[in-house]
Amino acid sequence: MASAERPEVLLIGFGGVGVLYAYVLQRGGARITAVCRSNYDTVKANGINVFSDKFGEHLNWHPDQVVRSPDEIEGNAFDFVPDVCPSSETIRPYLEKNLSLSPKNNLPLIVLIQNGVEIENEVYESLVCSDKPLASGVVGGLTWVGVTLLGNGTRIEHGFLERLKIGLYPPPLADEVPSDTASAFDQLVELFRQGGSNVEGTNDIVGVRWSKVLWNISWGGLTTLARRPVSAILEAETLPYSAGVVYGIMLELLAIARAHGINEDRLPSVTIDQVYDMTMRNTNAKIRVTQNPDQFLEPMENKNLPDDFKPSILVDLERERPMELHVIFGTLLERARAANVATPRLDLIVAALMPSQVAFVRKAKGLTKEDDSNKIYDANPALNKTGGAPVLGP
Amino acid sequence: MASAERPEVLLIGFGGVGVLYAYVLQRGGARITAVCRSNYDTVKANGINVFSDKFGEHLNWHPDQVVRSPDEIEGNAFDFVPDVCPSSETIRPYLEKNLSLSPKNNLPLIVLIQNGVEIENEVYESLVCSDKPLASGVVGGLTWVGVTLLGNGTRIEHGFLERLKIGLYPPPLADEVPSDTASAFDQLVELFRQGGSNVEGTNDIVGVRWSKVLWNISWGGLTTLARRPVSAILEAETLPYSAGVVYGIMLELLAIARAHGINEDRLPSVTIDQVYDMTMRNTNAKIRVTQNPDQFLEPMENKNLPDDFKPSILVDLERERPMELHVIFGTLLERARAANVATPRLDLIVAALMPSQVAFVRKAKGLTKEDDSNKIYDANPALNKTGGAPVLGP
C-alpha cells in the first residue's frame, strides 16, 4: 500500500456514476486511471465537463491517465479498483497487468459500486480466494445519486443528492479485519470523504444491499411495470390496488433474505414498514385509517420525491437501454429457487421486463429477432428461472 | 315474441363489435334499431361502410332505425337487446320505453356480448328478477373477432376470424328451460347463423367465460405488462421467465373458479394445458423436453397467431383508451377476496395497469391529476382490492 504517496485508483466503467466518483476520488487526493471505451478519444483530448450542484462545475476535467486496455497502463500498481459493472472477467486482465507493475506484489482492493444483492461474491471467489490472488479484498458500495452522462460521453450532470455506503465483503460484522485490509478500507473511506462525498462505512454491506433492494423491487418494480412516475401508484384510486402489492413484494424479498441467513439483526422486519412509509408520505390522497369516516391522518410533511420521479430502471426502459435485470433481479431469482421460496410477484416483474431487455441487448449488438430464432428453450421445469413451473410443454 | 314477423333487435353499444353483429343480425332477418352517441349524425345520414373479409363489403349500410335516446324509439317492442357494454343502468331506460310499446307486455331477451366472468349477474338480478321485470331473460355471449371501428365511426374493418358462443344465464346445465325462453334463445342462435356467423349455443356460458379469461389474463396479461406482441414472450431467452408465470396466473384463476363452484365438469383442469399449448405452438424456439441435449420437439405446425399479434387490452392501452379492467379484472379480484383465494400475480397485473386506466378515464372526462388529488384512500387492509394487505399506513 503506497499510503505515503498519492493513492492509485483504476476506475472501470466510466458512465455517469463512474465519472462522478473518479472526480470525487481525485479531489480526495487519488491519482485516477480511467478505462474508457466509446468516449476514449474525446476524454483523452478534452476531458469531461462536470456539472454538479453538489460538487460544483469543472470544465474539461481530466483523469490522470486514460486507457482503452490493460497493456496501455503505465506507472505504479493500484491501491483501489472501483468498478460499476462488476464481473471478474472484465476486471481480471487489468489485475494481471497490475501485478506485473507491482514490485512487492502488493494487491489492490476492488470496489464494486452497483445495485443488487451479493453481487460481490463471484468477484471475491475468483479474484481474491483463488490459488493466485489478484486482489487483497472486495469492497461493496451502494450509491443514492442522480447523475447522467450526456453529449456522447463529454459531460455529466448531477444534482445535490449524493450518498454512498461502502463496506468490506464478506461483511466482517463482529469479526476482526486483518489490519492491512482495515487500514486500506479506512483510507478509501477517507479518500471519498476528502473528495466531498457523503460517504459512510458499514460493517454489513450485505444487509444494506437488502434494504435498498426492498425499495427498488417493490415501489420501483410496480412503478416500472406501470410505466408511470411513482406518484401514479400513490393516488386515492390506485392505492387500493398498489398498497397490498408493494407489501407483498417486500415480503417475498424478506423471505429470500431470511432463507439465506440474513436474520432480524441484519435486516429488521420493520424495515418493510419504513420503506413503505418513506414513499407513502408522498401521496396527495387523504388517508383514512379508522372506521370513523370523518377522521383522517394529518397531511404528511417532508415529501421526499418530486411528483415526476421515476426509478432508474424505468428511465433505462424508456430510453431503451439494457436494464440491470440480471444483476439486480437475476441473483434474487436464483436465490429464491435455490431455497425453494415462492416469489410469484418478483417472477412476474422479471418476466414482464425480460422481453424489453432481450430486445434492447439485441439492438445494441446490431442483431434482429430472426438472428435469435431457432435458439434452444429447455422446457424442463427445473431449469425455469421463475416459479410456477409448467408441466411438459406442447 | 313476434316470431312470425321480422324479429326486433335493439342494439346498445355501436362500436366495432356492435356494428358487426348488428349487420350480421340484419342479414339474418332481424330489424335493427341502433343506439348511437358520437356518430349519430353520420350514421343517420350515410350509414356505415362495412369492410369484412368474412362477410363482404357493404357501403353505406344502414340499421333500420337510429336513435340517441329511449324517447326517439318508434315502432314495435323488441325481441332481443344485445349490449356490448353491459350495465343495468344503461339498459333500463330503453327497456322501460320498450314496455310502453308492447301491447301484450312481451319482454325481450337481453344479450350481453362482452369479456369477463359472471358479468350477467348484475343485469339479471336487477332487470329480470325484480318485482317488475323488464326482460324475460339474459343471454351471455363471447366473441373471438378482430374488428375495429374507424374514421370517426363511419366504417368498420374486419378480417376472417369470427366465432361466437352464446348461452342462457344462469346456465341451465341439465335443467329444463321454460319453453318460451328456450324457443327465443333458439331463434336468436338461428338469426346469427342465418346472418353468416360462426355461432354456437352453449348450456354453460359461465364455464366458457372462465376458459376464455384463462387466456386473456395469463398470456394476454403478461404480454400487456411487457407492452410487446405475444411472440416476444415466446422466445428462447424469455420463455424461462414467462412459462412458469403464465402457468401460475392460470392456476390462480382456476382456484378462484373452484372456490365459486365451477367444478371439474364445467372447467376441466386440463383446460390450462390446452390454453398453454395453443399459444406455445407459436414459438420459434427449438424446444428440448428431455435430458438428451440433442433431442427436440418437432417444429410445431398450425401456428394460430400472427407474429405481431397483441391482445385487445394491450391495443387499448397503446391507444390510451380505457381498458376493460373493472369488467374483466375487477370481478375476478372481488371473487378472489370474497373466497380468500391468494392471487399475487393477478393483483400485480391489475395494480400495474390501474394507473393508466385512471389516467385515460381522467383524460376522457377532461380532468387533470389535480382534480383528483385530496380524494380519500381508506388505508384499511380489509378494503384493499388486492391481497398482501398492508399494516397500518404511514
Q: Quote the number of domains for chain B.
A: 2
Single-letter residue type at B202: T
B124 and B189 co-located in one domain: yes
The pLDDT of residue B380 is above 70: yes
Residues from chain B contacting residue A374 (CB–CB below 8 Å) = 284-286
- Examine the domain organization and report whether B240 and B192 are in the same domain: no
Sequence letter at residue B370? E
Q: Are residues B245 and B187 in the same domain?
A: no
Of B170, B203, B236, which closes a domain? B203
Asked whether residue B383 is assigned to any structural domain, the reply reads: no
Residue of B348, B361, B374, B383 to mutate when probing chain A, most A C-beta within 10 A: B348
Nearest CA to CA, how far is B286 from chain A (Å)? 5
B354 and B215 within one domain: yes
Contact B227 A300 (CB under 8 A): no
Residue B135: per-residue pLDDT: 94
Contacts A376 to B, Cβ<8 Å: 236, 285-288, 296
For residue A289, give the nearest of B355, B380, B384 by CB distance: B380
User: Residue B299: which region, alpha, beta or left (left: phi > 0; alpha: psi -120 to 50)?
Assistant: beta
Chain A residues 253-292 with a CB less than 8 Å from chain B: 273, 276-277, 280-281, 283-289, 291
Residue closest to A261 by CA, chosen among A210, A186, A326, A318? A210
Higher-confidence residue of B271 and B85: namely B271
Show residues of chain B in contact with A226, CB under 8 Å: 351-356
Nearest CA in chain B to A249: B388
Q: Are B217 and B151 in contact (CB under 8 A)?
A: no
Tell whether the model's pLDDT for residue B304 goes beyond 90: no
pLDDT in tens, A346-382: 999 999 999 999 999 999 889 998 888 889 898 877 7
Q: Which residues of A touch B296 (CB under 8 A)?
A: 376
Residue A390 pLDDT:
45
Of chain A, the end-to-end C-alpha distance in Å amounts to 61
Measured between alpha carbons, how far apart are the two ends of chain B, in Å?
Answer: 61
**A388/B244 touch (CB, cutoff 8 Å), yes or no:** yes
Instruction: Flag whether A24 is in a domain.
Output: yes
Q: What is the largest CA-CA distance in chain B?
A: 76
Q: What is the pLDDT of residue A389?
A: 52
Read off the pLDDT of residues B51-84 as tens digits, 9 standing for 90 and up.
999 999 999 999 999 999 999 999 999 999 887 7
* pLDDT band, residue B182 (cuts 50/70/90): very high
| pLDDT the model gives residue A319 | 87
Confidence of residue A68 (pLDDT cuts 50, 70, 90): very high
Q: How confident is the model at residue B362 (pLDDT cuts 50, 70, 90)?
A: very high
Hey, CA dihedral for A64, A70, A72, A77, is it positive or negative? positive
Residue B275 pLDDT > 80: yes
Asked if the structure places residue B390 within a domain, the reply is no
Model confidence pLDDT, tens digit, residues A299-334: 777 777 878 888 888 988 998 988 878 888 988 999
- Do A188 and A80 form a contact (C-beta atoms < 8 A)? yes
pLDDT at B3: 46
Element (H, E) at B146: strand B137-150
Cα dihedral A353, A358, A364, A369, rounded to 10, equals -130
Per-residue model confidence as pLDDT tens digits over B90-119: 899 999 999 999 888 889 999 999 888 888
pLDDT band at A1 (very low <50, low <70, confident <90, very high): very low
**A222 plus A187 within the same structural domain:** no
B334-346 mean pLDDT: 92
| Alpha carbon A260 to its chain's center | 20
Q: CB-based contacts of A130: which residues, under 8 Å, 6+ apart?
A: none
For chain B, positions 364-383, list CB contacts with chain A under 8 A.
369, 372-381, 383
Cell reading at A34: 480511467
Supply the pLDDT for residue B389: 52
Residue B394 lies in a domain: no
B341 inside 8 A of chain A by CB: no
DSSP class of A5 = S
pLDDT of residue B392: 36
Quote the minimal CA–CA distance from B392 to chain A in Å. 7
Residue A2's pLDDT is: 45
- In chain A, pLDDT over 90 holds for what percent of residues? 62
Among all residues of chain B, which has the CA nearest to that of A370?
A: B284
Q: What percent of chain B has pLDDT over 70?
A: 96
Which of B214, B242, B303 to probe the A interface (max A CBs under 10 A)? B242
Yes or no: say if B90 and B37 are a contact pair by the CB < 8 Å rule.
Answer: no
Q: What is the ipTM of this complex?
A: 0.85
Q: Report the range of poorest mean pLDDT among A122-126, A196-200, B379-383.
A: B379-383
Same domain? B97 vs B241: no
pLDDT of A200 higher than 80: yes
Same domain (yes/no): B46, B192: yes
Which residue in A225, A378, A385 is closest to B241 by CB distance? A385
Confidence of residue B1 (pLDDT cuts 50, 70, 90): very low
Domain-located, residue B377: no
> Cβ B225–A352 below 8 Å, yes or no?
yes
In a domain, A344, yes or no: yes
Nearest-10 crossing angle of helices A239-259, A344-364: 90
> Range of A135's domain?
8-203
10 Å CB burial of residue B197 (0-12, 13-18, 19+) is: buried
* CATH code, domain with B108: 3.40.50.720
* One domain for residues A226 and A182: no
- Does A347 touch chain B if contact means CB atoms closer than 8 Å? yes
Burial of residue B374 (number of CB atoms within 10 Å: 0-12, 13-18, 19+): exposed
How far from chain centre, in Å, is Cα B14? 14
Same domain for B216 and B131: no
The pLDDT value given to residue B85: 64
Which pLDDT does position A107 carry in this prediction?
92
Q: Are B181 and B216 members of one domain?
A: no
* Cβ of residue A232 closer than 8 Å to a chain B Cβ: yes
Among the partner residues B248, B359, B377, nearest to A285 by beta-carbon distance: B377
Mean pLDDT over A190-194 rounds to 97
Ranges A19-23, A89-93, B175-179, most confident: A19-23
Q: Give the residue from chain A lying closest to B343, CA to CA.
A: A344
A392: pLDDT strictly greater than 50: no
The DSSP secondary structure of A70-117, one letter per residue, reads: GGG--SSPPSEEEESS--HHHHHHHHHHHHHH-TT---PEEEEE-SSS
Same domain, B191 and B53: yes
The DSSP code sequence of B28-72 is TT-EEEEE-STTHHHHHHH-EEEEETTTEEEEEE--SEEESSGGG
Confidence at A191, pLDDT banded by 50, 70, 90? very high
For B195-249, the pLDDT digits (tens) are 999 999 999 999 999 989 999 999 999 999 999 999 999 999 999 999 999 999 9
Count other Cβ atoms within 10 Å, centred on residue A264.
10
The reply to whether B330 falls in a domain is yes
pLDDT of residue B301 exceeding 50:
yes
In the predicted model, is pLDDT for residue A393 greater than 60? no
User: What is the reported pLDDT for A394?
Assistant: 33
The most distant pair of C-alpha atoms in chain A lies apart, rounded to whole Å, by 76
pLDDT higher than threshold 80 for residue A209: yes
Q: Do A287 and B379 touch (CB under 8 A)?
A: yes
Mean pLDDT of A25-34: 96
Same domain, A120 and A215: no
Domain boundary among A134, A168, A203: A203
Stretch A226-254: mean pLDDT:
95
How many Cβ atoms are within 10 Å of B142's Cβ, its own excluded?
22
Instruction: Give DSSP secondary structure letters for B339-384.
Output: TT---HHHHHHHHHHHHHHHHHHHHHTT--GGGGTT-EEE--GGG-
Q: Which residues of B touch A349 (CB under 8 A)?
A: 348
Please report the residues numbered 36 through 75 in chain B whose beta carbons come closer than 8 angstroms to any beta carbon of chain A: none
Mean pLDDT of B249-266: 94
Q: Which residue among B175, B203, B231 closes a domain?
A: B203
pLDDT at A111 over 90: yes
> Mean pLDDT lowest for which of A184-188, B228-232, B297-301, B358-362?
B297-301
Q: How confident is the model at residue A269 (pLDDT cuts 50, 70, 90)?
A: very high
In a domain, A16, yes or no: yes
Chain A CB contacts of B237 below 8 Å: 354, 358, 372, 375
Average pLDDT taken over every residue of chain B: 89
Which of B234, B245, B345, B367 has the most A C-beta neighbours within 10 Å, making it the best mutation to test the interface with A?
B245
What is the structure's pLDDT at B394? 33
**Domain containing residue A297: CATH number:** 1.10.1040.10
